[in-house]
Chain A
Amino acid sequence: MPFIPHTEGDTRAMLATCGVDSLEDLFDEIPPELRANALDGIPAGCDELAVSQLLHARAAQNAQPLCFSGAGAYEHHIPAAVWEITSRGEYYSAYTPYQAEASQGTLQLLYEFQTMVAELTAMAVANASLYDGATALAEAVLMAVRANRKSKSRRILMPRTVHPRYRDVVETIVRHQGIELTRLDYDTAGGHIDPTSLPTEPGDVTALVIPQPNFFGALEDADTLTDWAHAHGALVIGVVNPTAMAVINPPGEWGGAGADIVCGEGQPLGIPLASGGPYFGFMCCKQKIVRQMPGRIIGATVDLEGKRGYVLTLQAREQHIRRSKATSNICTNQGLMTTAATIYMAVMGSAGLENVARQCHANTRALIKQLSAIDGVETVFDRPTFHETVLRLPRPVNGVLEELAGHGILGGVDLARDYPELGHALLVCATETRSEADLDAYAVALREVLA
């Protein structure tokens, strides 16, 4: 029996202790009419070898062309130490650190994680993670509604420069709570929110969402947007890429007062692409609204002898205490992913992370230069970008991408469905993992496809 250690003798002795004759007798409280028949549709069990052979075959069916796609999931180098350590059973097979004294490893690590994320974003405090970037934004919206007590409108300004799938998820999650998501259009020249296009009398706004860099890779004028929001009584929710934080002005320093809530996708910090998950979301905020933050939060304290230790804190916000009045229903989050991210940030350091950011940016610039030299290919926006950019092709992108796949190239993300007004628009990205030869290969292939 896989993973069940009982010998026949054990089973007999244990049944006797229970005072029953058979395993079946242990289910005598279940009404007989509810008992299931055979599990048709489920195959017979396999041993590890057979399953291993099947999974190797399946993995081989996944083709992995040279990747020039980003759009929220980035292929970065992951130092070998990251998952060597993260996969240790003491991290992998522990649970949420409810028994703090028996979980100091996880708790101290998460306290370090909170510190690192707060440092990256220049914010006061961070939580111990949410599910992913999209749900983190949804939780940030809900948090803003709780935190902005002066605003009664529950109205959130949601720019179209925010990742379209994030906007979908926010819609799914907040729609039952009377929250109005007001769409903000972007400037077609810059691919960013033009601060001068914002209304001078916007009425009661609860919060403005600012993505940095935005979905197009363009850099928003975050300072002006932040000041505008604060001048009108709105909170600022920043959605940021953590790699970008190594070189881009962090949200804690936006405008005069900084962003109020910051969230984002943690995947770039040592998490493999893995078909989209598991990743993790992060969230930070100003100190004064920390009690409105959802999710697990770790705090330092002392033990009986005055020695430093770490515990889950502010649990009075959470579902297992407050039940229907909790800040969120979130319980389990993405602990193992934050473990990897913490080790990643420690191994890389600020210098290492800055190097990654610079290399990505340089590679994307070099790629854009090569691709936009091809007849009919041009950049769409004129704002400064970070490590991702939109190109316009002379014909529909999906056909081009299919032909590029024939050359072993995942050429980027087709924007036709989400931004039809941009024409044949393609979102491209080259991280530090792309070599000069890779960039050349893409340019050669695209030239051939478009010829």
Chain B
Amino acid sequence: MNNEPLIFEHSRPGRINRAQSAHLGGDLDDIPDTLRRQRRPGLPEVSELDAVRHYTRLSQKNFSIDTHFYPLGSCTMKYNPRACNTLASLPGFLGQHPLSAVRDSQGILACLWDLQEMLKAVTGMCAVSLTPMAGAQGEFAGVAMIRAYHDARGDDARTEILVPDAAHGTNPATATMCGYSVREIPTDAQGDVDVVALKAAVGPHTAGIMLTNPSTLGVFERRIHEIARIVHQAGGLLYYDGANLNAILGKVKPGDMGFDVIHINLHKTFSTPHGGGGPGSGPVGVSERLHPFIPIPLVGRDDNSAFRWLDEHDLPQSIGRLSAHMGNTGILLRAYVYALMLGREGMVRIADYATLNANYLMARLRAAGFDMALPERRATHEFILTLKHQAKEPGVTAMDFAKRLLDYGFHAPTTYFPLIIPECLLIEPTETESKEALDAFVEAMVAIQAEAEKDVETLKGAPYSLPVRRLDDVQAARELDLRWQANGGMAS
């Protein structure tokens, strides 16, 4: 299966899948030639079997949660229950046009209403909008609401968003999209935000701070109340990046920590599929003072308890719409099914066992001789291992370890993030992995360490057993080849 050609290379002129187009019908004689296409697009001409076989074979070249332990830190690669997919795919949901009459949409609206209510309860926020289509869009909505809040008060001196240096790249990128400049706040040696630096940074120019808690360093930000007080006293607001909510679900409510606005990555904490890079879903929750600015549409309820959409008429100060309809509805349904199955006890158990798995894996790797970035701290749902010593002697990097892990049948942890820890692996096992899976991962890490000590070239050449050997990223960026060309093709 190593050399599956491109679908275009399977193509043969004139091979038409008649099952999908029995006859060519329909005159276009009312459309003038000047508006008509003159040459057919070069889509592949293959049989249905060709297509099915090709895309099945390609699927077999992927690592996935269903096939491999996938401890990708900060991504929460937990089991995606099949029931979520099956139930969200009921014809009654899939067939619904987004502009259907409200009275024909009471089933889906009821589900979305319930999900709004459950997310409010578990986050301690006053209202939730489900419309953002990914974490980054939730971040955008959140910072846009912070801006709308200051603007509504005529407070236009606030031009700066504070972001810890360990933050996800989406945080500073989002602040820029909302027209703010970004100031980074350093992290102290224990992995907490440097409060002295924070105090020096805040002022009348501070619009707010974006924080992830537990932080991207895999530890709980212990002085969160103090941080909230400092920022609020300066007139700024607090944004909670919910990327790591899995660690504290049901244990701590972001609303209780003093956050004004949060987003939740449903594709992490609520186990909706990552899909090879989406679709995600990033609902936002708000405190009372940001409620007027929440993105539309929301699901509301009339006096007669019928559900309906709330739009710009109900929320005239809303930051507006973020999608043509109401976001990734089908993903919201999957999260809803998951939340119903967990219930209130199940939600807390997620945090319990995600934390247990991370601490267990950390303890075992430490006992095996690996260095932790923050050895004095309790792990949350993830932790950071640093290979800075191995990088000096025998001279293998975090990337070498990552690639070699693939040969051992494990997806690699997140590498080189957070940026402030050298040669790091950010490891998040999630609660759905068994003790045996974690033990096997430890054994692989120990074996790789032994290989590195024996001969670094073993790791430098990895992976060996995958469809391709290590790929040349530099060539990809230098000699851009972003599409197949019928004539001339491409180097193989």
Determine, out of B100-108, B283-291, B390-398, B446-454, the stretch whose residues face the partner at the interface: B100-108
Contacts of B369 in A (CB 8 A): none
Q: A176-B144, A177-B179 are in contact. Are A300 and B490 (CB under 8 A)?
A: yes
16 A/B residue pairs, CB under 8 Å, sorted by A: A11-B356, A27-B351, A42-B347, A56-B87, A73-B98, A88-B56, A90-B64, A92-B66, A172-B319, A248-B31, A301-B476, A322-B173, A323-B169, A345-B44, A362-B26, A410-B97
The residue from A14, A301, A355 contacting B473, defined by CB atoms under 8 A apart: A301
* Shortest CB distance B152–A (Å): 14
B90-116 Cβ-contact flags toward A at 8 Å (1 or 0): 111111111111011111101100000
Judge whether A446 is part of the interface by a CB distance below 8 angstroms.
no
Q: A30-B251, A112-B8 are in contact. Are A64 and B92 (CB under 8 A)?
A: yes
B63-81 Cβ-contact flags toward A at 8 Å (1 or 0): 1111110101001011111
Q: Nearest CB to that of A308 among chain B residues?
A: B492
Judge whether A181 is part of the interface by a CB distance below 8 angstroms.
no
Q: A51-B337, A355-B21 are in contact. Are A67 and B106 (CB under 8 A)?
A: no
Q: A55-B337, A104-B62 are in contact. Are A17 and B476 (CB under 8 A)?
A: no
Complex-state Cα separation, A295 to B175, whole angstroms:
17
Q: A58-B110, A62-B93, A276-B325 are in contact. Are A91 and B277 (CB under 8 A)?
A: no
Judge whether B463 is part of the interface by a CB distance below 8 angstroms.
yes
Contact A90 B66 (CB under 8 A): yes
The residue from B21, B340, B345, B482 contacting A125, defined by CB atoms under 8 A apart: B482
The residue from B94, B134, B179, B323 contacting A331, defined by CB atoms under 8 A apart: B134
A166-181 Cβ-contact flags toward B at 8 Å (1 or 0): 1011011100111000
Contact B406 A60 (CB under 8 A): no
The residue from A112, A277, A357 contacting B279, defined by CB atoms under 8 A apart: A277
Contact A219 B471 (CB under 8 A): no
Contact A17 B45 (CB under 8 A): no
B303-343 Cβ-contact flags toward A at 8 Å (1 or 0): 00000000000000001111111111111010001011111
The residue from B48, B100, B106, B473 contacting A313, defined by CB atoms under 8 A apart: B473
Contact A172 B174 (CB under 8 A): no
Contact A65 B104 (CB under 8 A): yes
Contacts of B105 in A (CB 8 A): 62, 275
Contact A101 B477 (CB under 8 A): no
A105-139 Cβ-contact flags toward B at 8 Å (1 or 0): 11011111011101110101110110111110000
Judge whether A393 is part of the interface by a CB distance below 8 angstroms.
no
Contact B96 A90 (CB under 8 A): no
Q: Nearest CB to that of A316 among chain B residues?
A: B477
The residue from A27, A38, A45, A348 contacting B342, defined by CB atoms under 8 A apart: A45
The residue from A169, A299, A301 contacting B322, defined by CB atoms under 8 A apart: A169
Contacts of A437 in B (CB 8 A): none
Contacts of B434 in A (CB 8 A): 5-6, 10
Complex-state Cα separation, A296 to B36, whole angstroms:
31
Contact A129 B278 (CB under 8 A): yes
Judge whether A374 is part of the interface by a CB distance below 8 angstroms.
no
For the complex of A and B, the 5 pairs showing the least CB-CB separation, nearest first, are: A276-B325, A45-B343, A59-B92, A89-B66, A336-B275
Q: Nearest CB to that of A324 among chain B residues?
A: B172
Contacts of A132 in B (CB 8 A): 133, 323-325
Complex-state Cα separation, A97 to B172, whole angstroms:
23
Q: Nearest CB to that of B351 among chain A residues?
A: A27
Q: A99-B63, A329-B177, A351-B24 are in contact. Are A246 and B320 (CB under 8 A)?
A: no
Complex-state Cα separation, A448 to B383, whole angstroms:
68
A266-309 Cβ-contact flags toward B at 8 Å (1 or 0): 00000011111110100000000010000011111111110111
Contacts of A386 in B (CB 8 A): 31
Contact A73 B325 (CB under 8 A): yes
Interface residues of B in 264-285 (CB under 8 A from A): 267, 271, 273-280
Contact B323 A134 (CB under 8 A): yes
Interface residues of A in 352-378 (CB under 8 A from B): 352-363, 365
Q: Nearest CB to that of B482 among chain A residues?
A: A125
Contacts of A119 in B (CB 8 A): 41-43
* Shortest CB distance A146–B (Å): 12
* Shortest CB distance A311–B (Å): 5
Judge whether A450 is part of the interface by a CB distance below 8 angstroms.
no
Complex-state Cα separation, A99 to B3, whole angstroms:
18
Given A253-B38, A300-B476, 5 extra CB contacts under 8 A: A46-B340, A64-B100, A331-B136, A337-B275, A358-B26
Contact A17 B173 (CB under 8 A): no
Contacts of B17 in A (CB 8 A): 347-349, 352
Q: Nearest CB to that of B161 among chain A residues?
A: A324
Complex-state Cα separation, A325 to B329, whole angstroms:
31
Contact B6 A94 (CB under 8 A): no
* Shortest CB distance A270–B (Å): 11
Contact A336 B343 (CB under 8 A): no
Contact A58 B341 (CB under 8 A): no
Task: Identify the interface centre among B42, B58, B75, B403: most chain A CB within 10 Å of its CB.
Answer: B58
Complex-state Cα separation, A215 to B173, whole angstroms:
32
Contact A335 B43 (CB under 8 A): no
Judge whether B375 is part of the interface by a CB distance below 8 angstroms.
no
The residue from A30, A72, A163, A336 contacting B220, defined by CB atoms under 8 A apart: A30
Interface residues of B in 425-444 (CB under 8 A from A): 431-435
Contact B66 A361 (CB under 8 A): no
Judge whether B348 is part of the interface by a CB distance below 8 angstroms.
yes
Task: Identify the interface centre among A20, A103, A309, A349: most chain B CB within 10 Å of its CB.
Answer: A349
Determine, out of A79-87, A149-157, A182-190, A200-208, the stretch whose residues face the partner at the interface: A79-87
Judge whether A395 is part of the interface by a CB distance below 8 angstroms.
no
The residue from B25, B104, B169 contacting A362, defined by CB atoms under 8 A apart: B25
Judge whether A257 is part of the interface by a CB distance below 8 angstroms.
no
Complex-state Cα separation, A420 to B145, whole angstroms:
30
Q: A19-B363, A332-B278 are in contact. Are A52 and B356 (CB under 8 A)?
A: no
Contacts of A318 in B (CB 8 A): 169
Judge whether A48 is part of the interface by a CB distance below 8 angstroms.
yes
Contact A85 B52 (CB under 8 A): yes
Judge whether B302 is part of the interface by a CB distance below 8 angstroms.
no
Q: A35-B252, A274-B329, A365-B30 are in contact. Are A350 and B45 (CB under 8 A)?
A: yes
Contact A51 B341 (CB under 8 A): yes
Determine, out of B117-125, B197-205, B229-237, the stretch whose residues face the partner at the interface: B117-125
Contact A29 B347 (CB under 8 A): no
Contact B43 A330 (CB under 8 A): no
Judge whether B188 is part of the interface by a CB distance below 8 angstroms.
no
Q: Nearest CB to that of A323 among chain B residues?
A: B172
Judge whether A314 is part of the interface by a CB distance below 8 angstroms.
yes
Complex-state Cα separation, A267 to B3, whole angstroms:
31
Judge whether B372 is part of the interface by a CB distance below 8 angstroms.
no
Contact B25 A358 (CB under 8 A): yes
Contact A101 B136 (CB under 8 A): no
Q: A91-B64, A120-B43 are in contact. Are A100 and B278 (CB under 8 A)?
A: no
Contacts of B461 in A (CB 8 A): 304
Complex-state Cα separation, A401 to B100, whole angstroms:
10
Contacts of B127 in A (CB 8 A): none
Judge whether B154 is part of the interface by a CB distance below 8 angstroms.
no
* Shortest CB distance A49–B (Å): 10
Contacts of B59 in A (CB 8 A): 85, 88, 90-91, 105
* Shortest CB distance A271–B (Å): 9
Contact A29 B24 (CB under 8 A): no
Task: Identify the interface centre among B24, B93, B133, B412: most chain A CB within 10 Å of its CB.
Answer: B133
Contacts of B117 in A (CB 8 A): 41
Complex-state Cα separation, A55 to B370, whole angstroms:
47
* Shortest CB distance B34–A (Å): 7
A12-30 Cβ-contact flags toward B at 8 Å (1 or 0): 0111011110010011111
* Shortest CB distance B363–A (Å): 5
Q: Nearest CB to that of B281 among chain A residues?
A: A278
Contacts of B359 in A (CB 8 A): 18, 20, 26
Contact A347 B344 (CB under 8 A): no
Q: Nearest CB to that of B77 among chain A residues?
A: A95
Contact A324 B175 (CB under 8 A): yes
Q: A29-B378, A45-B345, A62-B93 are in contact. Are A278 and B173 (CB under 8 A)?
A: no
